[in-house]
Chains A and B, each alone.
Chain A
Amino acid sequence: DAKTTQPTSMDCAEGRAANLPCNHSTISGNEYVYWYRQIHSQGPQYIIHGLKNNETNEMASLIITEDRKSSTLILPHATLRDTAVYYCIVRVVHAGGTSYGKLTFGQGTILTVHP
């Protein structure tokens, strides 16, 4: 799985958009970009994933650059409850008839939302 690079920490004011970047310059064509977050003392929570196109769901938007070497997770109106560690993960889902399972987590970005 391709390696990702994320800032160690970021701050955001409550009510503003939080934009979390992720670099994955060695991503290959069959690797998806996933975002998870982990609130203190809880298990990780799936947020969103994408392959090439931008994606949006009820939690967030995922913007993937055209060359797929980086992406941005956008929380449109951050709240105090969004304070968490955010993990960007890239991984193969299917290749050569094989489906893959594990997620490889890095250090993630600690997002702190301030009142």
Chain B
Amino acid sequence: DTGVSQDPRHKITKRGQNVTFRCDPISEHNRLYWYRQTLGQGPEFLTYFQNEAQLEKSRLLSDRFSAERPKGSFSTLEIQRTEQGDSAMYLCASSLVEGAYEQYFGPGTRLTVT
């Protein structure tokens, strides 16, 4: 299967620790997106890349959050000094630039901050 993959699927961390998540997009997709989803809510956009360039960042992406896509392939999302409010599902999606940009989502990384 060549869908979007995310690692890890689950992460439990203590408040104040740093965490890093990885996303591998569909291989020919040049756009990669990060979303966050809390319980009972729809996903909220965080940021997206076109190849290596980070084109848009949400105001939700505080200074403690940083995302990279250094070679235009996989991406990492790091959260520094985690807080309990960071507990959520972190979703990655990818798409082509051409056409209507259907986004294909990965299974997500569920973060629990204790």
Contact = CB atoms under 8 A, between A and B. Distances in A.
Interface of A: 32, 34, 42-46, 49, 85, 87, 93, 99, 101-108
B51 to A, nearest CB: 13
A37 to B, nearest CB: 11
10 nearest A-B pairs in the assembled complex, by CB-CB distance: A105-B42, A43-B105, A102-B45, A101-B48, A46-B102, A44-B105, A105-B43, A43-B108, A43-B91, A43-B106
Given A43-B105, A93-B101, A105 B91 contact: no
Contacts, number: 53
Contacts of B91: 43-44
Q: Chain B contact residues (Cβ within 8 angstroms of A): what range?
A: 20 to 34
Contacts of A42: 107-108
Interface in B79-114: 91, 93, 95, 97, 100-108
23 contacts: A34-B102, A43-B4, A43-B91, A43-B107, A44-B91, A45-B105, A46-B104, A93-B100, A93-B101, A99-B101, A101-B33, A101-B50, A101-B55, A101-B95, A101-B101, A102-B33, A102-B48, A103-B35, A104-B45, A105-B42, A105-B43, A106-B42, A107-B41
Interface of A is mostly: loop
Given A34-B102, A44-B105, A103-B35, 8 more contacts: A43-B105, A43-B107, A44-B43, A46-B102, A85-B42, A101-B101, A107-B41, A108-B42
Nearest to A106: B42
Interface string B11-37: 000000000000000000001010100
Contact of A103 (B41, B97, B103, B108): B103
Contacts of A99: 97, 101
A46 B58 CA distance: 22
Given A43-B91, A44-B91, A32 B31 contact: no
Which of B41, B58, B97, B103 gathers most chain A CB within 10 Å? B103
Contacts of A32: 100
Contacts of B43: 44, 103, 105
Contacts of B35: 103
